[in-house]
């Protein structure tokens, strides 16, 4: 949770933010963290009361409870749009990471939490779902995806199938397409591309893409 204060005569910047950390994945937990930012092109601002995900480092010569943050360094995003939350958990939550890549045709609870954390803009429920994986147009297994992209920020497109598409695809509820020209577009995925995904999944042996 963030509060904001305008300060004068401060060499590190005229904006001072006090952050009350919720979950701390790395580093020592503190009751309060102070962040300074200037109002240059590299400066930043926060909405008071909003929850954010911060990935920060210290500043040479600065107090240990204070951090400098801007658009040119560090990472911060409102929690509801934090598309690296899954990556952070995979890095710093051993119990979750240990359960990623489990055998079986469906996503377990840890895998569902991971994929929800890299795709915050969807209301799709990943729990116990059968998910297909593609690198552009080439099918991947679940394990191949995790080996390659577990802690890497990737351009994705989640294609959620209709009930008819799901039946034709052999039970797959959706396909996660990575590094495709279709990924990240504002336009809907074309029917032709959707049919291609369904056909590729239908040809797979049961569970092939989710080992």
Could you give the domains of the chain?
2-79 (2.40.50), 85-210 (no CATH)
What is this structure's pTM?
Answer: 0.75
Contacts of 164 (CB under 8 A, 6+ apart): none
Average pLDDT along the chain: 80
Low-confidence winner among 9-23, 129-143, 163-177, 186-200 (lowest mean pLDDT):
9-23
Bridge-based pairing of strands 131-135 and 138-140 is: antiparallel
- Exposure string of 115-132, with b = 16+ CB inside 10 Å and e = fewer, is bbbbbbeeebebeebbbb
Count of residues making up the chain: 211
Give me the pLDDT at residue 195, please: 95
CA angle 138, 114, 47 (to 5 degrees): 115
pLDDT tens digit sequence for 107-163? 999 999 999 999 988 999 999 999 999 998 889 999 999 999 998 888 888 999 999
Structure tokens at 97: 């990471």
């Amino acid at each position: 949770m963030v509060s904001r204060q305008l300060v004068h005569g401060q060499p590190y910047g005229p904006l001072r933010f006090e952050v009350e950390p919720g979950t701390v994945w790395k580093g020592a937990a503190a009751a309060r963290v102070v962040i300074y930012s200037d109002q240059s092109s590299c400066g930043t601002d926060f909405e008071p009361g909003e929850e954010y995900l911060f990935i920060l480092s210290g500043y040479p010569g600065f107090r240990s409870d204070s951090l400098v943050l801007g658009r040119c360094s560090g990472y911060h995003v409102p929690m509801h749009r934090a598309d690296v939350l899954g990556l952070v958990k995979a890095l710093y939550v051993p119990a979750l990471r240990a359960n990623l890549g489990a055998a079986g045709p469906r996503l377990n609870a840890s895998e569902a939490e991971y994929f929800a954390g890299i795709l915050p803009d969807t209301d799709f429920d990943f729990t116990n779902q059968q998910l297909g994986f593609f690198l552009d147009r080439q099918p991947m297994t679940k394990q191949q995806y995790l080996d390659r992209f577990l802690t890497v920020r990737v351009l994705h497109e989640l294609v959620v199938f209709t009930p008819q598409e799901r039946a034709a695809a052999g039970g797959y509820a959706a396909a996660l397409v990575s590094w495709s020209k279709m990924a990240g577009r504002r336009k809907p995925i074309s029917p032709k591309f959707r049919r291609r995904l369904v056909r590729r999944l239908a040809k797979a042996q049961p569970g092939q893409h989710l080992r």
